[in-house]
Structures are given as structure tokens and as C-alpha cells.
Structure 1
Amino acid sequence: MSDKKNNFKETLTVSMSNFLDAGAIVAGASGLTLWMNFLHLDDMALGLLGAVSANGFGAALGALIGGPLADKYGRKFIYRYDLLVYMIGVALIALSMNFPMLLVGYIITGIAVGAVVPASWSYLGEQASAGKRCANIGWGQFSWGFAPMTIFILSIFLNRLGLLGNRIMFGMLFAVALITWILQQQIQESKIWEEQKEKEKEEGYVKAPTSEIFTIKANRQAFILSAGIYTLWNLVAGLQGYFLPYIFTKIGNLNNIQSNALNAFIWFMTILFTYLVFIKKGDEWNRKIVFSVGCIMEVVAWLVLVFAPVGWFSLIFFDLLWGISAGFSAQCFFALWSVELFKTQYRGKAQGIIFFLVRAGVGVISLVFPTMLTALGFQKTGMFLVAVLIIQLIIGLIYTPETRGMSVYEIEEQRYGNDY
């Protein structure tokens, strides 16, 4: 019982990095118009902030750094330093008085967010028992959804203070990061990573090159699946998370309080269905069916948002569909499959490369999204996002593996055979 409690404590402690990841993105989103007015930002400056932040190139670069470090020095190694960098970034944002200061804060925070992702998802998956991997990883997703819900609720009250309210939010992220950093110093190293390092010390052991990620057929399929579904989903979710308050305000003519309330409701539904579906049933139900249902709900949600008359009914219906589907979305399955389908010795590198593609993709589209929205209009832009979600569904239908109930060791042996 004591071991179970300790494992769950470690799971929640590591999952707090996901809380801080999402928190950094959404704190910026909820006060976007406030920063625009204070610093007199145009569409290009707004796009640049999104592009280099924790939702874009900053996180992409961080993942390329953090993945190899997590494989070489351990998952716990990342936790010694990452949140120290994060705290510097959010402090700069909280205290920003000009655009360069704000931009540097976003970049530093983004790098810190990206660097911890491979370590976090690897740790949660590696420390889980064979029949509890979805449950363990699901708590990371739960924390990821809990942060935006909390911040949007706080925004309802803090935005009355104007920009000061948004500064307070980043100050709160600093405080949470400090507490989390202290707790993360107490966790144990991943047992699977330690066993892999002991194996590498054995005489005659030949370490697999990182190029195997692309040269072995099993890895290529895993890469197409993990990178495909997560990159495409995150193009939509990333833009949505960063610009949805803007869309609600400009397209739906909602005030800031109404916009934040709708966003908080989305995230409440997300964490509720993360718990009900991914944590409680993810290790039991057919994953291809669960994934497909989520994708279909996402497509319908955006079709409603794009074509239905804009009003409370259509916006709440969108919130319900997207919020529920996000509880067992591509992000959940990326976290699961990127742990299950790549070898321990380069798992972090593979996750880092994929996360780089994911956040770089958001970075690129963030540069042009405000302009695209203005030039093409909301309906055409929305249909582009619907097409992206449909392609994601097709990739999942083709490549989803059956790994329920299997340990990480059993999956590796099955997939790599004599190469294991």
C-alpha cells in the first residue's frame, strides 16, 4: 500500500509539469487583448508571441534539447533544472514593461516547457504497471487540463484588474513552479531507464543508433502514428487554446467574462472525461474505437462552430463536444504510444523530435493565423482546421496498435524481435 501511495505521489508530482505547460499557454491567451492594448501590438507581433512561446518554437527547441538529455542522464536529471528556467521565464512575463521583455519571457518559458515533455511522458509511462499505463499517463493529461480551467476561472475575476490581473496569473505560475520543483527533487529515477543503463554496461552490448527511429519499419510506423496524430491535432488545439478567447470575442461578440467562462467549461469537460474515459477505462476499452470516437466529435464540434449561427447554443454545443473529446484526444494517445512503441534507449529522443514537429507546426501557423483569419474569414479558416482533423482520424485508423495489458518489455520484444 505504501509503494502504491508513493507511486501515485510521484505520478502527481511529475504531472504538475503538464499543469505548468498548459498554464503558461493559457495565461497568455486569457489576457491576450490586454497585452495587445498595453503594448499596441499588431497582428504580426501577436503572431510572433504565439510562434515562439510554450505553444510554438520555444517549446519545440526545448524538446530537442530535453529528449536526448533525458535519455543520456535520466528522467530525474531534467527535473533538477527545468523549472528553474521556467520560473525565470514566467517572472519576466509577469514583470514585462515592453515587447522585447515579454518576448524573451515567452521564449524562455517555452524552452523550459518543451525540455520537460519527453522526461514527463516517459516517466509516467515507464513507472506504470502493464495494466495501468493509460491510468498513469492520464493523470498527466488531467493536470494539463486542470491548469486552463483554473486560469480561465481566475480570469473572470482577475481580468477586472486589467493587465495587473494577468501579471498576477504569471506570478501564481511562478509560485506553483517553485513548489513543484521542490517536490520533484524527491522523486525516484525511472526503474526502466535505470535497467536500460545497467544493460548498456554489459560486455558485448551494442547500443542502437538514434537513426533506428527512421530505419526500422516498426519505428517508422510508430513515428507516423505518433507524429501524425499529435502534430495535426495540435495544429487545431494549439491555435484554439491560444486564440479561442480572441475568436469568441471577435466572432461571437462575447465580452471577456463570457469568453473565459466558456473556455473554463471546455476544460472542465476535458478533465472530467480524461478521468472517466482515459484514466478509468483506457486500459480496458478498444483504443482504436476510443480514438476514432474522439476524432469524430472534434470534427463535428468544428463544423458546428463554423456553420451554425453564432449564439449561446452553438458555442455551448462546441464546448461540450470539444471538451469531452479532448479528454481522450491525440495528446493522450501520443503520450501513451510514444512510450509503448519506441525503445527505452532512444524513447526521449523520439518524443523530443515529435514534440519539436508538433510545436514548430503551431509556431509556423501562429505566425500567419491572425492574418489568415482576417484575409480568409472565419468559415474558410475553420474548414481548413476540419480537414486537418479528418486526416488525423485516417492516420489513427490505419496505424493504431493493440498493446492493452502488455508491459513495456513485452511490447519492445514483440515489435523488435531479434533486435530487442
Structure 2
Amino acid sequence: MSHPVSKPGIRPWRTAFLAGMASYLDAGAIVTTSTALVLYAPALGLNEWDFGALSALLTLCFATGALFGGRLGDKFGRRRVFTSTLLLFAAGIAVLTFAVSAPMLYVGVVIVGFAIGADLPVSLALAAEEAPEGAKGRMVALSGVLWMVGIGVVVVLSIIVGAYGELGARLLYAQLLVVSLVVLVLRSRMKESTEWTTARSAAIAAPASERVDLSTLRRLLARPLFAPLLATGLFYSVWNLGANTIGQFSTYLYVNVAGSDVPTASAIGLLGIPIGLVSGLVFMRIVDRPSRQIWFAAGVAFSSIGFAVPLVLGVSVPTLATMGIVGGFGIGLAGETIYKVWTQELFPTLVRSTAQGATIAFTRYVAAAFALFTPIIATTNVTALFGILIASSVVSGLIGIFWIPRLPKAKTPETGTGASRAEGLVPAAIDQENNA
């Protein structure tokens, strides 16, 4: 994005913050579950397969939620969907907080995964659509900073309550419950996306022959939108193999492979959080400028080097710590946040949330399948595990460097820039939306 950078007012930042809290809760749910399962294990009788199954189920339900939530957000509006999904998330976290048996954990994980998955694509779309021109990237990138904050809060709490066993797990989930309820109250006062309202009205008012298909995914599977759908879906799914593995199984690796304990793992994990926050803040400053591609390439290099350390030197507390610190810087520059920005830039308003939901769903389905076997791979062939993680960083980096930047941008109501209707990027009804 090369538009002049403007200074947003308070309202766009408030919208971006409340929308970006979906990323805080997403990261918080993943990392909390990673630690809580270890703490719950003795009391609730969890084994290796429970670790893999619960982690995979969380990711699987997140994927399903993203698929449905993204479509509903385009069809019924951003506000209605992300209010309902956050209420559902709070209910699921309550189940996990007060779980007294393994089956309750499975029920809570299903609800939480589906709810936060449905929330994320809708919230991101709202943040971008309410941002002023020249600042959209920053508004979306704020979610990446909040994602790191979510991890940091859980890690700090894990240091404090990690020695409390079952009670510690309940306290970790209770934090997410309180935050989700506060955000729910604040979100209830938000207005609907003006851009979505305008686009929806234009689409409905268009002649039947030109009307956008608001009920299926067919437009995304045809030219010219299929190329960005495929590119962003492949980037995110391949990159997320590494990020999701570390997010869900870092505590498991420290405790069951490196021979450490939960408080130590949490304390060491805390070292990478400030670095991740710094890289996220740097990315917010450069995301709306052409130089972001250089920073992206640097992020890929840092992430790859981080995964290489345990592979080359063996899995131990020092090598896992080094991976977290070095890789933490790379994630902020070449990870989920840039994917979120790309999806805002490449898809028209009325399919934007659907496109995000579809690519997020695909990504999390892949991650769920891998998570099911991750504990077994980690304990039987940890070298192979880190080889896969390095490959995920390199391959996703190549997609982000050589493919995605060449894709045409979608038109926006503010500027009318991007590929023209003659080039096939948007149908007539979307053109009407952009001229409204």
C-alpha cells in the first residue's frame, strides 16, 4: 500500500482495538490451553492422545467457525456476528474454567474453537473497513500486537500460577473469561461497518443480472479471485504449521522433551514476548509503505533461523529459548499479521470476510491434522518435527516474496483503485458499491 499515511482519529483506533481483541483471545486460548492441559493432566487423567486430540479439536473447530463466521459476516453484517460469537466464546471458556472431567474439556474446546474462529475474519474486516485511507494496514496490524499481548499475559500468569496445578489451569482460563466479557460489553456499543452497509445496499439495488451472489462461495472459486484465495490460503496454512505447533506445544516440548517444568517454560517464554511486541510495533509503522517487503524477507530469515537452532544443536531448554527469542522477532514481520493485511487488500468488501474465513478454515484444518500427531512426533523423532517447521517457514516466505505481491489489489470505496471491472476483479454490483 503506497497511499499517503493519514493520522486516524480516536474512533478508528477504538474500533481496531475492540476488533483486534479477537486476536488477543485467539492467542490466549491457544497458549492457555497449551499450559492448562499440562496442569489439568494429573487431576483429570489426560494422556498423550488427549493432548493431541484436544489441541487438534481446538484448531479444527476454529477452522469450522472461521468458515461459517466469515460467510455470515458478509451476509448479515460485521457487528451482529462478532457480538454473538464473543458471547459464545465466553460460554465455552466458562466450561473450561470449571471443568471437572476430561469430557468437559472436550466440550469447552469445541465451543471456544468455533466461537473465536467465527469472530476473527469478521472483526478483521471491520477494522480495515472503518480505517481511513492510508492507515488500513496499521489498523489491521494492531491485531498482531494484541496477539502478542495475549501470549504475554498468559505467559506471565503461567509463571505465577504454574505451580498450582489444577487451580492454576482454572485461573488461566478465568482471565480469558473476564477479558471476553469486558470486550463483549464494549463491542455492544459499536456501530455497523459503513463500508459493508454501503456495499450491501448497492448490491441489493443492482439489476438482477448484475447482482452479487450473496449466498455461495462461487465467486471466490472463479477468476480473478481464485488466485489470491489460493495464494493467501497456501501462505497462511504453510506458515501456521510452525506457529501453531509452537503456540500449542511449547510447554509440552519444554516439559516432556527438554525435561523442564511449567513455571520454567513460562518464564523463558516470557523473554520472547517483548521482542515479538517490538517487531509488531515496527510492522505497524511500515505496513502501509513499500518497504514492508524488505522487512517481510527479514522476518522470514529470523523465523527460519529460530527453528534451525533446536534442529542443529538438539532440543534443550537453551535451544528452545533461543528459538522463541529469534523466531519471536520474525513472527511479527512475516506471519499472521501480513496475511491479515493481504486479505483486506486483495478481496472486495462483500466477499472479504468470506475469503478470510475460507483461508483461515483451510489453515486450521491443516494445523488440526498435524496437531493430532505432534506429541507423538515430538517424543519419537523430534528432529523430523523441527525439519518440518523450518520447511514451513521457508516455503511460506517464498510465497510471500514472489507470488502474493504480484496479485492485483481489489477496488476500495475510498479510492476506486485496483484492477478495473474490465479486468474481471469485481462484478458490476461491486463497481456500484465503489461509486456510491
TM more than 0.5: yes
1:203 positional shift: 4.0
Q: Which residue does 2:390 correspond to in 1?
A: 386
- Structure 2 CA distance for aligned equivalents of residues 20 and 273 of structure 1: 20
Q: Which residue of 2 aligns with 1:215?
A: 222
One-letter code of the match for 2:336? Q
Gap change, CA 1:406 and 1:347, over 3 Å in 2: closer
Which residue of structure 2 aligns with residue 232 of structure 1?
Answer: 238
CA contact (8 A) 1:135 1:283 kept: yes
Contact 2:79 2:190 in 1 (8 A): yes
Give TM-score scaled by structure 1 length.
Answer: 0.93
**Partners in 2 of 1:179 and 1:2 — Cα distance?**
28
TM-score in terms of structure 2 length: 0.90
Q: Does 1:97 align with 2:103?
A: no
The code of the aligned residue for 2:124 comes to W
Of 270, 273, 288, 2:276 maps to: 270
Q: Which moved more, 1:310-319 or 1:3-12?
A: 310-319
Quick one: which amino acid aligns to residue 235 of structure 1?
Answer: L
The answer to whether the Cα contact below 8 Å between 1:79 and 1:181 also exists between their aligned partners in 2 is no
Deviation at 1:251?
A: 2.8
Is the counterpart of residue 348 in structure 1 residue 353 in structure 2?
Answer: yes
Instruction: Kindly indicate whether the alpha-carbon contact (under 8 Å) linking 1:291 and 1:328 is maintained by their aligned counterparts in 2.
Output: yes
Q: Quote the Cα distance in structure 2 between the aligned partners of 1:411 and 1:382.
A: 45
Q: Is 1:195 matched with 2:216?
A: no
Q: Aligned residue for 2:114?
A: 111
Identity percentage over the alignment? 24
Give runs of aligned pairs for residues 262-301 of structure 1, distance below 5 A: 262-276=268-282, 278-301=283-306
Q: 2: distance between equivalents of 1:137 and 1:404?
A: 19
Cross-structure match for 2:3 = none
In structure 2, what residue type is equivalent to 1:356?
A
Alpha-carbon distance change, 200 to 337 in structure 1, aligned in 2, over 3 angstroms: same
The one of 386, 403, 415 equivalent to 2:419 is: 415
CA distance in 2 between counterparts of 1:403 and 1:136 reads 22
1:150 lines up with 2:153 in the alignment: yes
Whole-angstrom CA distance in 2 between matches of 1:264 and 1:50: 22
| Alignment match, 1:124 | 127
Distance 2:163 2:377 in 1: 30
Say yes or no: does 1:331 pair with 2:311. Answer: no
1:306 Cα deviation after fit: 1.3
Residue 137 in structure 1 maps to residue 143 in structure 2: no
Aligned residue in 2 for 1:253: 259
Calculate the aligned-residue CA RMSD, in Å.
2.3
| 8 Å Cα contact 2:82-2:123 kept in structure 1 | no
C-alpha contact (below 8 Å) 1:341/1:412 kept by paired residues: no
Q: Which sections of structure 2, spanning at least 5 residues, go unmatched?
A: 1-5, 427-436
Distance 2:326 2:412 in 1: 33
Q: Which residue of 1 aligns with 2:432?
A: none
Maintained 8 Å contact 1:271/1:327: yes
Stretches of 4+ aligned residues off by more than 6 angstroms: 402-407
Give runs of aligned pairs for residues 35-184 of structure 1, distance below 5 A: 35-53=40-58, 56-184=59-187
Instruction: Give the deviation of 1:412 after TM superposition.
Output: 7.0
* 1:7-35 Cα distance to aligned partner (Å, 9 max, x none): 21121111112111111111111223222
Residue 298 of structure 2 aligns with an amino acid whose one-letter code is V
User: Within 1, Cα distance between the matches of 2:269 and 2:205?
Assistant: 53
